[in-house]
Amino acid sequence: MPPMSALRIEARDPASRARAGVLHTAHGPVRTPAFVPLATKATVKGLLPAEVAELGFDIVLGNTFHLFLDPGEELIAGFGGLHRFMGWDRPIVTDSGGFQVFSMGHGTVADEVKGRTSGPAHHPERTGRVLAIEEAGVRFRSYLDGSERFMGPETSMAVQAALHSDLALVFDECTPFHVDRDYTARSTERTHRWLRRCLDWHGAHGPRDQLVYGIVQGGVHEDLRVASAEHVAAAAVDGIAIGGSLGADKPQMHEVVGWTTAVLDRVALDRPRHLLGIGDVDDLIRGVELGIDSFDCAMPTRLGRHGVALVPEPERRWRVDLTAGRFKHADEPIFDGCPCPACAAGLSRGYLRYLVHARELTGMRLLTIHNLAFVARLMADLRAAVLAGTLPATAGALRAGAAPGAAAAAPAAA
């Protein structure tokens, strides 16, 4: 067991498993619960590092699989590591590459379930493909040049060591939704064997100041999830991530996450927990209540690049598609009271629609910033509410359509 948790929990919500705290890393603190924007290819697409920090984010996520293929971890190490390479001196988490590698082999069902459908690695039929899944690791064809590549537990940890992220994730098999229970059980056992190899490699060669999170698998099967959570928590991991297929719909996903955090409350209460690839507004609220400390997701940035803005409208799944024709002459901002640069400047939905249709970079940038600002304020509200002991009221207000930033201040005190 690690001698001390990297997470200092400052408050717990008495009505749920929610907690608020500070995660301590080599590049500084992360206020939790936290959302982690994706810097998949060593940039939050379209934004400067200072802009990401100014929005209120403490940590970003770099993608081990993509950076391994291009430009390669050796090149980035030559620049002094990922922080210096991309000009971000705050915490960085790197995923293990497992999700991307296995997405190629398992098809796109997991992508569909998680809403991950963009990027070249997410269209395996057109690009890379898995050649063999073996105990040693996975052989696959690169989507870039068709060359044969290999990634296993040791490769993944070595790449993450070269990138020198603050927080590394172990290499796991990301089981998709459509496989049966037997496959999921065998796959989860292999993930546990790979956990051991990742920790062995990291113990012998990894950076001393790099935290390592294990990953709980087990699909949608309660006994497998419980066993996996217990197994991972019993290992010398600094934190625990929840991955794999979380179900076909939101209620099932919340149930699967709930099984896992119930175990973690029992056997690893103080260690940090990360929920992989989840970031819808309602899922963030529920995830916090279920005791998740951090989330990463392509949703806010990817939606922004495609002309979709986040709005405090639960009946519309908190989204408005500004590319729709009805906004052609719309003179109002995305929503009143939003402090993001686009809304604060009074830029109209009609103008933003035009920019997106014209494929102007400014449109993608403005909507990315608007969406990240929305999620940043949402997480700040939830964190403040846990600290103030008012999470039920704040979560209720947000679910009812309160704008983030207003929810914490308003009826929560009651």
Q: How many residues bind Zn ion (CB under 5 A)?
A: 5
Binding part of the chain for Zn ion, among 34-42, 50-58, 329-337, 391-399 by CB under 5 A, reads 329-337
Smallest distance, Å, CB 222 to Zn ion? Answer: 41
Q: What are phi and psi of 261, to 5 degrees?
A: -75, -20
**Whether residue 95 lies in the annotated active site:** yes
Nearer Cβ to Zn ion, position 135 or 336? Answer: 336
Binding part of the chain for Zn ion, among 41-49, 106-114, 125-133, 363-371 by CB under 5 A, reads 363-371
Q: What are phi and psi of 6, to 5 degrees?
A: -70, -15
Smallest distance, Å, CB 337 to Zn ion? Answer: 9
Binding part of the chain for Zn ion, among 124-132, 147-155, 350-358, 368-376 by CB under 5 A, reads 368-376
Which parts of 35-54 interact with Zn ion (CB under 5 A)? none
**Of positions 66, 114, 116, 370, contacts Zn ion by CB under 5 A:** 370
Residues 281/399, Cβ–Cβ less than 8 Å = no
Nearer Cβ to Zn ion, position 18 or 340? Answer: 340
Binding part of the chain for Zn ion, among 78-86, 138-146, 189-197, 362-370 by CB under 5 A, reads 362-370
How far apart (Å, rounded) are the C-alpha atoms in residues 87 and 79?
11
Smallest distance, Å, CB 370 to Zn ion? Answer: 4
- 410's CB contacts (< 8 A; 6+ apart) are 397, 402
User: Quick check: 338 binds Zn ion (CB under 5 A)?
Assistant: yes
Tokens of 392: 């039920």
User: Quick check: 215 binds Zn ion (CB under 5 A)?
Assistant: no
**Of positions 104, 257, 320, 343, contacts Zn ion by CB under 5 A:** 343
User: Quick check: 352 binds Zn ion (CB under 5 A)?
Assistant: no
Binding part of the chain for Zn ion, among 110-118, 198-206, 326-334, 347-355 by CB under 5 A, reads 326-334
DSSP secondary structure letters along 226-271:
HHHHHHHHHSS-SEEEE-S---SSHHHHHHHHHHHHHHHHHH-TTS
**Whether residue 238 lies in the annotated active site:** no
Max Cα distance, the chain (Å): 62
Nearer Cβ to Zn ion, position 252 or 348? Answer: 348
User: Quick check: 403 binds Zn ion (CB under 5 A)?
Assistant: no
Smallest distance, Å, CB 338 to Zn ion? Answer: 3
CA atoms within 13 A on the CB side of 99: 26
Smallest distance, Å, CB 312 to Zn ion? Answer: 11
Dihedral sign (CA 27, 28, 31, 33): positive
Nearer Cβ to Zn ion, position 232 or 310? Answer: 310
Residues 82/27, Cβ–Cβ less than 8 Å = no
Sheet holding 19-25, edge to edge: 7-12, 19-25, 28-32
**H/E stretch holding 287:** helix 281-289
Smallest distance, Å, CB 321 to Zn ion? Answer: 15
- Of 110, 21, 121, nearest to 69 (Cα)? 121
Smallest distance, Å, CB 31 to Zn ion? Answer: 22
Q: What are phi and psi of 132, to 5 degrees?
A: -160, 140
Residues 74/97, Cβ–Cβ less than 8 Å = no
Choosing from 13, 58, 95, 293, the catalytic residue is 95
Per the omega criterion (within 30 degrees of 0), is the bond before 33 cis?
Answer: yes
Smallest distance, Å, CB 350 to Zn ion? Answer: 15
User: Quick check: 340 binds Zn ion (CB under 5 A)?
Assistant: yes
Binding part of the chain for Zn ion, among 45-53, 204-212, 315-323, 341-349 by CB under 5 A, reads 341-349
Tell me whether residue 338 is exposed, middle or buried, using C-beta atoms within 10 angstroms of its C-beta: 0 to 12, 13 to 18, 19 or more.
Answer: buried
Residues 263/233, Cβ–Cβ less than 8 Å = yes
Nearer Cβ to Zn ion, position 276 or 309? Answer: 309
Residues that bind Zn ion (CB under 5 A): 334, 338, 340, 343, 370
> Mind telling me the catalytic residues?
95, 296
